[in-house]
Homo-oligomer: A and B are copies of this chain.
Amino acid sequence: MEKATSPRASDIAYDKIRQFVLSGRAEPGQQLTEEQLARISGVSRTPVREAVRRLENELLIVRSDSKRLFVADWSADDIDEMFVLRGMLEGHAASRAARTISARQLEELSRISDRLDAAVRCSPPDVAAFLTQNRRFHDIILEAARSPRLSAMLPMLVEQPVVRRTAAQYKTEELLQSAREHRELIAAFGARDSLWARAVMTSHIRRAFHVFSTSAKRHKEQRQAND
């Protein structure tokens, strides 16, 4: 039985501010003051500061030379590298998970995979559900890898711009392929084949990069056409 976690103010602040930044309500490069963030999250500055520390570590917020806060603004190179790093780290996570995953977790992955399929096959595809389940899938692998270090590092590689990109950009075909890759990961885990698992995961992330990349290009061209 799960117990409801006590709602600590610093966690509330963390969630609210993170939401504020990721939702795009905050412009990249925009200054944030602690007081403003305190107002937004409805708590005092003290827990806000703790939340900001965490977000700063995830590089969603950056500090100027003299401690003023700004919404992070990522270059194309930053984003490229994030995918490279995610490929390495999630590949490693998959490799470890293949050795240590429990039957319980394997079943859970299967269930999620079913939901992923369902989300894709209905029309129109339920992209929001897909993204939620996708995230859960990867979280379980991370959990199965049993590495505190990976668990601390991977959250730094959340892709702000990907989240912001509207759901409509995803094509059914791409989602189908993604779901297939999830199935193959489960197969690799079932076979306890760490090399296979790593290879599938690396390829999975890399493909996501190319989907994102071409989508970003389309996006840019459209904007230029509108000018």
A residues neighboring B (CB under 8 Å): 46, 49-50, 53-54, 57, 59, 78, 81-82, 84-85, 88-89, 92, 96, 147-150, 152-153, 156-157
Contact = CB atoms under 8 A, between A and B. Distances in A.
B88 A84 contact: no
Contact of A88 (B81, B92, B147, B148): B92
B152 A59 contact: yes
Contacts of A96: 81
Contact of A149 (B82, B148, B150): B82
Contact of A53 (B54, B88, B89, B149): B54
Given A53-B50, A88-B88, A152 B148 contact: no
A78 B96 CA distance: 12
Contacts of A81: 96, 147, 149
18 contacts: A46-B46, A49-B50, A50-B50, A53-B53, A53-B54, A57-B57, A59-B149, A59-B152, A78-B148, A81-B96, A81-B147, A81-B149, A82-B149, A85-B89, A85-B150, A85-B153, A88-B89, A153-B153
Contacts of A88: 88-89, 92
Nearest to A151: B59
A59 to B, nearest CB: 6
A78 B148 CA distance: 8
State the oligomeric state as a number of copies: 2
A101 to B, nearest CB: 16
For the complex of A and B, 9 pairs with smallest distance between CB atoms: A53-B53, A88-B88, A153-B153, A57-B57, A81-B147, A59-B148, A85-B149, A149-B156, A152-B156
Contacts of A152: 57, 59, 156
A132 to B, nearest CB: 25
A63 B49 CA distance: 18
A102 B81 CA distance: 20
A16 B147 CA distance: 27
Contacts of A156: 149, 152-153
